[in-house]
Amino acid sequence: MTEPTHIVCPHCDAVNRMPHSRLADAPTCGKCTQPLFTGRPLDVDSARFERHIGRNDIPVLVDFWAEWCGPCKMMAPAYAQAAGQLEPAVRLLKVDTERAQDLSARFAIRSIPTLALFKGGREVARQSGAMDAVRLSAWVRQHIG
């Protein structure tokens, strides 16, 4: 028997358990009944970041960005498009480095945008600079195997 997959709800942050085979079946949260996958990146603060990185069994891609960053703004539509392509295999988060300076320092974010891919709560890949949706999706797929 397969171990259940844990998915953190993007709406209420409840941890949901389900068979991995059901991820593509438009699952809903057992607590708030909202969809577990929205096809959009999720803006998170430090506390929500910890919950999503630590409790999701699927890989989590994080865009470290800032409002004043031109390349970040240019990449935002591509990142949103990639969310629609990569979910439910990957959860996409956005962390505003100005609001979450603790995370910026902890992960030594020196340039933005910076993408960091996490699996099992650990960073497994990092890429700085803006990318289009095709390159971004290909980069993620290359690292999630």
Count Cβ atoms below 10 Å from residue 118 Cβ, excluding itself. 22
Q: Which of 9, 12, 32, 69 is catalytic?
A: 69
Per the annotation, the verdict on 69 as an active-site residue is yes
Output the six-digit token pair for 111.
């340039």
**DSSP string spanning 119-132?**
ETTEEEEEEES---
Please tell me the distance from the alpha carbon of residue 61 to that of residue 50, in angstroms, as a whole number. Answer: 13
Q: Which of 9, 12, 29, 72 is catalytic?
A: 72
Per the annotation, the verdict on 9 as an active-site residue is no
Look at the block and give the residue holding tokens 């998915």: 7
Cis peptide bond N-terminal to 113, omega within 30: yes
**Could you list the active site residues?**
69, 72
